[in-house]
Structure 1
Amino acid sequence: MNETQLEQKIVVIGAGASGIACATKLLEYGFQNVLVVEAEPRLGGRIHTIPFGENVIDLGAQWCHGEQDNIVHELASKHNLLESTGPVYENYQCVRSNREVLPDNVANRLKAIVGDSLVTRQLELRHCSGSLGSYLSNKFYEMLRKPENADIDEVIAAEFFDNYQKFENSVEASDTLEQVSGRGYLEYWECEGDILLNWKDKGYVELLRLLMHSREQPAEELGSLEQRVLFNTSVQKINWNRNDARVELQLSNGDSCVADHVIVTVSLGVLKASHLQLFEPKLPVAKQRAVEGLAFGTVNKIFIEFPAAFWPEDWTGFTLLWRQQDLADIRNTERAWLEDVFGFYRVSYQPRILAGWIISANGRHMESLAKEEVLAGCLYLFRRFLHWHIPEPVNFCSSAWHTNANFRGSYSFRSMDTERVGTGASELAAPLTVVTMTPSSPARQKFMKQQSRCDKPIVLFAGEASSEHYYSTVHGAVEAGWREAQRLAEFYGLAGTQSVAKSQL
């Protein structure tokens, strides 16, 4: 192979899971001139493992969702890094705002009703013309009307279902389930196996170390990407219509660089906020439609460390069931945002910590509040819902994915607007190309069967939102990064011995 082919300058924008997967795969293919530009002072993007309490916590991505056909599981299982946390999110208590704990026989039947609806979704949603919210509501109350559930109080059932919808919104990153397309929901493919696999006491950062081979080189934090990542630097402009079929990047540090290929792995939220200013010329209409039509939402976490566990050893957490008359106490007050905190759960390898979840506009509003105000609100919830004495916490932190200009939210979903616009992940993933002469390496000429002109992909797109069936997940982000690395490898005739679906990591 002609050595110059290995020196094509490739810039990867973003050092999240997709960017790191892409950059490391490019190096495996033999490309040498690879640079990753990252706006944050750290690796990981929406993977953010930090020290907290007695171990670490994940402010962003937390679980490996499924086992079969899941590349994250394939990589991690070789090193025994995962274990299930499913029981924590199955055996929680349902507690009303008057401190009444639902009896197990009632709570378990309500959980079974929503669990059964999960099974039937794959068949019934194919014929759904409405939202996921309308489908689930109809399904829930249809099941509730069955004779075996006649003894369940309708008010309590409604409170449970309201909380369940908040949980489902956290899965989708939607504000309401009426936003989520029923048919579009089926575009997501769930990997078989345990969908709540946690990274034990290590955190999701271990995946990045696997990708960069830095677990074998502890002295080199970036592993194979050492000296290849530019931190604290954002891309201000992508000029992709140059006469020389290359791309010029203007950086926030005042520098500029010219690359043969640029791979954009920033979040869909960032693209939504900045694509009109970022790209020169503007993106083609189909690409703009994908950016604007695909949906992107926010889910936040709250971590509270107590001096000691005040809960029983077999207690895994609780969900908050608000009585309508009690909601009046916080609505139209400064604590109205608390309505969308839907549960607190125990954290693996953190015996004194509870983790809360919050969704929607209230979750975004929480990001604007002072730390002390958020903590005071959470303690209000504990003391309102739980009958135990609640000690003063010793530590606290929460995520803020929406207000961070480098993310603008958490992950993508398929909305009713996505369906109306008629766009999808494939449109987002399509590269920007220019017509150019076939590269001159013998391998490339053989691959192209002596064609003299071809479409050169100069700006490529990865990230979880560009995954057709694994959007919103880390394994979708990783596969998208590998997909674009393979696209360039195929362009240069280097992909014959590599497979995106499998890795030797």
Structure 2
Amino acid sequence: MASLFHRLIDQTREFLHCTETPVPSVGEYLKREIRQHAAGWTGDEDAKKLKLAVLNTFFNVECCVSGTHSMDLVALAPFGEYSVLPGLDCTFPGGYQGLTNRMVASLPEDVMVFNKPVKTIHWEGSFQEAGLPGETFPVLVECEDGSHFAAHHVIVTVPLGFLKERLDTFFDPPLPTEKAEAIRKIGFGTNNKIFLEFEEPFWEPDCQIIQVVWEDSSPLEDAAPSLRDAWFKKLIGFFVLPAFEYVGSPVPGSSGLSLGEDPAFWANVLRLCGSGNPRLPAPRSMLRSCWHSAPYTRGSYSYVAVGSTGDDLDLLAQPLPADDAHAQLQILFAGEATHRTFYSTTHGALLSGWREADRLLGLWGPQVQQPRPRL
């Protein structure tokens, strides 16, 4: 089933330069092909159901990779445009904070300002800064605490989910219609991680991942249980992490907690997944991300949704004003959702930042440009 699914995923990338696709979404194409394969399966009904359940697990994995609730939301035609960066994934031992700490350490002191949520970016203006009398700036960044920063240029790197939510108030004047429409059309989904800590391992010493197959599931069933009742069935599995020194506090009991916040709930899920221990104790601590409810993210990362194309990512990346008659660019855009082939990735975000830095360096004079590696 893994071989079949990955072969079908490879086929979805072959529609990149086609003028028409048989169906709008990756999910619809995969299900259509699976139905045709399933019609030729031999064996008893239980075996067929188990094959479909395994394929549904791969659907869940692909949803996780694409950052979407359903592959039916992912556009088929541009799906092959996404590129996988060669090499292994890199995990920072101290988390991403270690990476940003290194970046900040290379900057002069007192050039970073924190805890200044931005309310509105005013552009196409003529603003003044108290410390620079006589000079005017086209951009003014208004913060939620009432403070202001006048600037020649602003690079906007907020997540696409934040832009979607604040689109009507974050820019004054509003963004051009075509850019605003691109923001609305590009998909932005949510992935979350849940970390569980146990007193003692219940898995085998060489176990690295506990994959999950829900035997009553099928990618061909349109009527799925509501996520409120069965959201945990979107889990792709449990990864075994190295032991670390325990420094947290035990998670409180179930009183007042939703199912996802209750450690006992996760013990039950693991029992269902075949841990082999009917008396598996609840985790002693738990940590989870909440990307959708976080006010400055409102999700995890982008995907090219049905109704959008890679052109929308390029359009989002274009600086403003778009009129070539303007000598000075005012608002520049970076972030993973502005990279046409590396969207949804950290390296896409990094490259987009280099792109906009180079754009400003080129604007201020070729003599200040610095060579940098290219991917």
Alignment-mate amino acid for residue 178 of structure 1: D
Shift of 1:209: 4.4
Shift of 1:198: 3.5
SS in 2 for 1:168: helix
Partner of 2:243: 350
What is the rounded CA distance, in whole Å, between the counterparts of 2:140 and 2:320 in structure 1? 14
**Structure richer in strand, relative to its length:** 1
Q: Normalized against structure 1, the TM-score is what?
A: 0.62
Partner of 1:234: 117
Alignment-mate amino acid for residue 365 of structure 2: G
What is the rounded CA distance, in whole Å, between the counterparts of 2:145 and 2:163 in structure 1? 20
Does residue 65 of structure 2 align to residue 171 of structure 1?
A: yes
Matches within 5 A, 1:89-108: none
What is the rounded CA distance, in whole Å, between the counterparts of 1:371 and 1:224 in structure 2? 45
- Alpha carbons of 1:228 and 1:315: their partners in 2 closer, same or farther (altered >3 Å)? same
Partner of 1:457: 329
Matches within 5 A, 1:192-203: 192-194=86-88, 197-199=89-91, 201-203=93-95
Alignment-mate amino acid for residue 125 of structure 2: R
Q: Which range moves more in the overlay, 292-301 or 377-386?
A: 377-386
**Equivalenced residues, count:** 346
Matches within 5 A, 1:135-146: 135-142=29-36
Does residue 161 of structure 2 align to residue 269 of structure 1?
A: yes
Partner of 1:183: 77
Partner of 2:138: 246
The answer for unaligned runs of 5 or more in structure 2 is: 127-135, 218-223, 247-255
What is the rounded CA distance, in whole Å, between the counterparts of 1:163 and 1:282 in structure 2? 42
SS in 1 for 2:328: strand
| Contact map agreement 1:432 1:458 (CA 8 A) in 2 | yes
What is the rounded CA distance, in whole Å, between the counterparts of 1:333 and 1:430 in structure 2? 37
| Contact map agreement 1:296 1:413 (CA 8 A) in 2 | yes
| Contact map agreement 1:165 1:177 (CA 8 A) in 2 | yes
Instruction: Report the identity percentage.
Output: 28
Alignment-mate amino acid for residue 117 of structure 2: S
Partner of 1:427: 315
The answer for unaligned runs of 5 or more in structure 1 is: 1-109, 215-221, 354-367, 437-452
Shift of 1:344: 1.2
Partner of 1:255: 147
Cα displacement string for residues 15-68 of structure 1 (whole angstroms, at most 9, x for unaligned residues): xxxxxxxxxxxxxxxxxxxxxxxxxxxxxxxxxxxxxxxxxxxxxxxxxxxxxx
| Contact map agreement 1:241 1:247 (CA 8 A) in 2 | yes
- Alpha carbons of 1:161 and 1:238: their partners in 2 closer, same or farther (altered >3 Å)? same
Matches within 5 A, 1:153-168: 153-168=47-62
Partner of 1:224: 107
Q: Normalized against structure 2, the TM-score is what?
A: 0.82
Shift of 1:111: 2.0
Q: For 1:322, which of 214, 218, 222 is the aligned residue?
A: 214
Matches within 5 A, 1:50-449: 110-124=1-15, 126-127=17-18, 128-129=21-22, 130-142=24-36, 153-194=47-88, 197-199=89-91, 201-210=93-102, 212=103, 222-224=105-107, 226-243=109-126, 244=136, 246-324=138-216, 335-347=229-241, 349-350=242-243, 370=258, 373-386=261-274, 387-388=276-277, 389-419=279-309, 423-433=311-321
What is the rounded CA distance, in whole Å, between the counterparts of 1:433 and 1:334 in structure 2? 44
Alignment-mate amino acid for residue 242 of structure 1: G
Q: Which has the higher contact order (CA 8 A, sep 6+)?
A: 1
What is the rounded CA distance, in whole Å, between the counterparts of 2:323 and 2:71 in structure 1? 44
Shift of 1:119: 3.7
SS in 2 for 1:229: coil
Partner of 1:40: none
- Alpha carbons of 1:124 and 1:343: their partners in 2 closer, same or farther (altered >3 Å)? same
What is the rounded CA distance, in whole Å, between the counterparts of 1:180 and 1:292 in structure 2? 14
SS in 2 for 1:291: helix
